[in-house]
Structure 1
Amino acid sequence: MENIKHSHVEVKGLKLHVAEIGTGEKTVLFLHGFPEIWYTWRYQMIAVANAGYRAIAFDSRGYGLSDHPAEPEKATSMDLVHEVKDLLDSLGISKVFLIGKDSGAIIANLVPVVYPETVASLITLGIPFMNPEADFGRFDVKSVIRNIYILFSKSEVPVASDDQEIMDLFNPSTPLPPWFSEEDLTVYASLYEKSGFRFALQVPYRSLTVESGLIDPKVNVPALLIMGEEDYCFKFPGMEDYIRSGVVKNFVPNLETIYIPEGSHFVHEQFPEKVNKLIIEFLDKQTI
């Protein structure tokens, strides 16, 4: 971890917090989800750097140590798609291997559609889902993140009753998953203390219905989906069949799917060595 370098890179007037390790000629760019930040990729960054790649992760605008946009309520997912391209341009990188998780997977899938020349291949983890209307404001930041990691690490979909929000399911006595430490929680909380949740819930969750202007989008680069079979998203009605039947390939034709039987929604932190091996094996087969 001490070898990961941190900086701020200005992108279209916003300073983005960027973490980087490795000096390889090929670059891997990681996109986090919610309630995550760059730190969620700590295991994967070190592994791909040791495998000879340049690894970059950043806090998306409005997250962690990156600047908020002036009017976050007007932001859309497409802003984050363009942000990826603009960040790469600022860093002088013309083409990358892209890896996204949760809401970061939404952006990761859109980048090669909008900027096909920028992405050599794509890896996504899980299927994104979140309840953005949860009343987070009643709880301190650490409690919110603790609750999300506990609730969404399970295979069952957490459901609040009609008179509840997701945060009403919070039980402070419930232990964290064994693979997510109090130290990890503190790191997440310390950065969200700065950024808050305002932008994180606006983009991409509340802005998913905003017209993107894309018609019949397809991801045509080589792609890998790493799916935990205990991921609560996998239990959504029709989701498992959508993936296993291959219907998803109508939109991502060159997709390979690998299942991790005990994997939760946070499979990359739960089983880092297993996920790292899959990522590196896939990347090593690709070309820029």
Structure 2
Amino acid sequence: MENIQHSYVEVRGLKLHVAEIGTGPVVVFLHGFPEIWYSWRHQMIALSTAGFRAIAPDYRGYGLSKMPPEPEKTTFRDLVDDLLAILDSFGIPKAFLVGKDLGVRPAYHFALLYPDRVSAVITLGVPFLLTGPEAFPRQFIPEGFYMLRWQEPGRAEKDFGRFDIKTVVKNIYILFSGSELPIAGEDQEIMDLVDPLTPLPPWFSEEDLATYATLYEKSGFRTPLQVPYRAWLEDYGVSDLEVKVPHC
């Protein structure tokens, strides 16, 4: 990873961290939770070898990017506006967007608002969804589902606060790597679903865990719990929900 370069872009008073490597057509990677730019390192290197310029930002309040002054007011629209500012700062007229998990929403939202700035959208893990409450119909979701639990202000903070940051990150990766969705019982919290003796997934090393833990110790979980979980139901304010890129 020694060839990956790191820089900062000033966006509305915040320094946002951006990793990049390579030259050629631009591919922007948008991470999920509990991820950071580092999650894309292997794909970035592969694409740079194939003749692309790979860019992976840390969202505001994530990783090496600065936390906003009021994390609880962060929205998905902030991530879209930050992406536009990053592209403008680097003089990038157009890019391929790759989004995973929560990164899918700013990728699609950006394509809705700025179709001329997007070559194509590639997404993993989450489909295109309508905005607003329709995106998350509560009546079809078990009460103990982790997303519902983490939407409650203060609940995840109390749950996570019983452990050190490294253990929280480890537990989340173990839960998210399983075959079952994390659903807690009435007398449980989400962290209680992990047996302390469960090993890390084979593709996630102790070195990876240490890297994630170090960066989450810096950022904390205030912004990551707001976006995606507590900002999930926001309305984009976009009337035309047809994604029109790539242009045919």
Do the structures match in fold with TM over 0.5? Answer: yes
Residue correspondences, number: 223
Q: TM-score, normalised by structure 2?
A: 0.85
Aligned positions of 1:135-174 closer than 5 A: 135-174=159-198
| 2:110 equivalent to 1:111 | yes
Q: Which runs of 5+ in 2 are unaligned?
A: 128-144
Q: Which position in structure 2 is the counterpart of 1:197?
A: 221
What is the distance in 2 between the residues matched to 1:12 and 1:92? 18
Q: Gaps (5+ residues) in structure 1?
A: 224-253, 255-288
Amino acid at match of 2:74: A
Counterparts of 1:101 and 1:43, CA distance in 2 = 15
8 A Cα contact 2:111 2:118, kept in partner = yes
Once residues 216 and 144 of structure 1 are traced to their aligned partners in structure 2, the CA distance between those partners, rounded to angstroms, is 39
Distance 1:66 1:172 in 2: 31
- Supply the distance in 1 between the matched residues of 2:119 and 2:181 (Cα, whole angstroms): 34
CA displacement, residues 1-25 of structure 1 (integer Å, 9 cap, x when unaligned): 111111112122110111111022x
Aligned partners of 1:11 and 1:90 also within 8 Å: no
Q: What does residue 187 of structure 1 align with?
A: 211
Partner of 1:82: 81
DSSP-derived class of the 1:63 partner: coil
Query: 2:138 is matched with which residue?
Result: none
Taking structure 1 as the reference length, what is the TM-score of the superposition?
Answer: 0.74
Please identify runs of 4+ aligned residues in structure 1 that moved more than 6 A: none
Q: What displacement does 1:130 show?
A: 5.6
> 3-state SS of the aligned residue for 1:219?
coil
**% identity of equivalent residues:** 65
Report the Cα distance in structure 1 between the residues aligned to 2:17 and 2:73, rounded to whole angstroms.
Answer: 22
User: Which residue number in structure 1 is paired with residue 7 of structure 2?
Assistant: 7
CA distance in 1, matches of 2:240, 2:195: 43
The alpha carbon displacement at 1:90 in A equals 1.0
